[in-house]
Structure formats: C-alpha cells, structure tokens
Amino acid sequence: MIEGVGLSKNYVSEYNRKMLTHAVKDVDIRIDNGETLALIGESGCGKSTLGRMLLNLIPPSQGEVLFEGNCLTKMRGAELRAIRWKFQIVSQHPDSALNPRWTVADSILEPFRIHGKITGGRDQKQELERLIDLVGLEPGQAARYPHQLSGGELQRAVIARAIALDPAFIVCDEPTSMLDVSIQASIIRLLQARQKEIGCGCLFITHDIQLAKIMGDRIAVMLGGQIIEEGKRILDHPVHPFTQKIVSPGLNETAPDLIPACECSNHACSFLTSCPSRIPRCNIYPEMQVCGDRRIRCHLVS
C-alpha cells in the first residue's frame, strides 16, 4: 500500500521569488496492493506531478509519502535507492524512456545489475527471455536499439523494464496517449494482465474517461492541483459540477458567464470561475468531505 498525506508541490519562479505556482495542493491519496486508482484530469492539473511525488522522483513541498509503513520522504541516498525497485514508472513518451545508446535488452536488464542483492543469482538471459515473452515482444527485438522499434513495441519494452523486479506499485502516466488507437487496447490488456499477476498497486493517469472507467477500481478526478472527487464508479454518477462537466461535455454550453480568474481569491474553489452552480460560499476553499461512497471537495454536498 502506498499513501500520500497532505501532498503539495509549489514551484518558485526563477526571476521573481514571490511568484509561486501551486502544481499540487494538499492531496491525500491511497492505493492498496493490487488496486488500480485511475487519476483523471485536464492537462496541467498536476496529475503527473502527483504521480512523480508518490515515486519520490520529485520531493514534495509539504506532506509525506508512506510506503509499507516507511516514510519515503524522510529516506535519503542509499536507503532510498535500495527500495526504489519496488515502485516504478511507465511514462507517456516511450520513445525517450529508454537510453538511445543502449539496446533494449541492456535497459531491461539494468535493474538486475543494480539490485544484485535482491535478484541473487538469477540468470539474466533467462530473465530477459521471460520478460520479453511476458510483454509480447519477439526475442530478436531485445537486441535492437530504441529507434528501431515502433511506439507500441517500445512501450512493451518500457513495461518489461518496469515489471522486471516485480514492483509493489507502478505509476502509469498516460501510457497509451502517444500510441495508435489500434495498439492502445493491446497495451491496456497487457498492463491489466501483468498487474493481476504481480498483484501490485497502480496509479493510472489518463485524460480519457472511458479508459479511466475500464482501468480504475477507484477513480479520482483532479482539478487545479487538487483531487475534487474520488470513489468507485463516480463517473457513472458524478456529483461535483466539474466531474459532471467532463462526463457530459455538452452541458458546458449552458454554463453561466465566467468570472475572470483575477477576481477570485487564492482560497477559492478551483472550479469557481466556470462552475454553473456556484454559490457565494465558493469563494472559500472547500474541504474534502466524505459523502456516501465518495470523497468530494464541494460546498454543494453539505
């Protein structure tokens, strides 16, 4: 189980130290072993930043990440590196996720070389054959360089590398968004099958609502750096106005005139500017509250 508590990430402008960008604001997130949480949201809402903070690839500004009872954010150097193999990333751009100067086999096998203590005397050649077979690549393709494989084949190689050491948690950051539609389905099936086998937790980041419904045991919707609604099957019965909007985009046309972003206070609801059902209280930042089968950040539900 991996858990993020009160995670925030602020970026400071290089030229004006007072200009802060809040990429992620006060997010609580939990993913159990074997469970998939589909994280959905618009571009730039902080999905990828949140995913990378959970993997401790970006240090959070506030909050901490707990993994199997250890606080990852307090770990340093060698201690952290020794445990890194347990959480892996499959990124959006398969073509830059592998070192272009290395063969695919070299990249897939690197985790075995790094974590020799855990893998013990496992035969690298056998492991490579096993992984290549698991992700559905041809044996000959392992000896090639990344530029010689297609996007779909590369993503398979990236997945092979990610699952090489049977991790406990994987972040899939829009793993199919750069691939042809015809290949997307097979990659999704591959991810589902391998996840079931390993029994690992998965944070599946996407902006595709159908994909989120297929992949997610639970679904979380993100807006402006915050999770605004989270629970099982929330996309079938959306409650938050933003979730309602993304589920049926047609509704958007009846939305009232927008409030210019500059007139909102910093503590207002993230969706204030274009929310069709806003009330005066929306100028105050809504707290996360439990409402039936879901958690939601909206004044309308209370």
- List of residues contacting other proteins (CB under 8 A): 52, 55, 57, 77-78, 81-85, 87-89, 91, 93, 96-101, 107, 110-111, 114-115, 145, 147-148, 158, 161
- Nearest approach, Cβ of residue 208 and other proteins (Å): 20
- Nearest approach, Cβ of residue 214 and other proteins (Å): 25
253 vs 261: CA distance, rounded Å: 19
Strand ranges, E, within the chain: 2-12, 20-31, 36-41, 62-67, 70-71, 87-90, 169-173, 201-206, 218-223, 226-231, 289-291, 294-296
**Cβ closest to other proteins, residue 148 vs residue 252:** 148
**Cβ closest to other proteins, residue 81 vs residue 281:** 81
**Cβ closest to other proteins, residue 93 vs residue 233:** 93
> How are beta strands 62-67 and 226-231 bridged, if at all?
unpaired
Place of tokens 């069709």: 276
Task: Copy the structure tokens of residue 34.
Answer: 């074997």
**Cβ closest to other proteins, residue 101 vs residue 267:** 101
- Nearest approach, Cβ of residue 81 and other proteins (Å): 4
**Cβ closest to other proteins, residue 54 vs residue 239:** 54
Task: Copy the structure tokens of residue 259.
Answer: 């409030």
175 vs 6: CA distance, rounded Å: 26
216 vs 213: CA distance, rounded Å: 6
Query: Which value, to the nearest 10 degrees, does the dihedral of the CA atoms of residues 218, 178, 27, 236 take?
Result: -30
The string of DSSP codes covering 178-227 is TS-HHHHHHHHHHHHHHHHHHT-EEEEEES-HHHHHHH-SEEEEEETTEE
Closest CA to 240 of 249, 250, 230, 232: 230
**Cβ closest to other proteins, residue 76 vs residue 267:** 76
- Nearest approach, Cβ of residue 198 and other proteins (Å): 16
135 vs 155: CA distance, rounded Å: 9
Contacts of 206 (CB under 8 A, 6+ apart): 38, 39, 40, 174, 177, 212, 215
Q: SS3 of 106, please?
A: helix
**Cβ closest to other proteins, residue 67 vs residue 85:** 85
**Cβ closest to other proteins, residue 84 vs residue 194:** 84
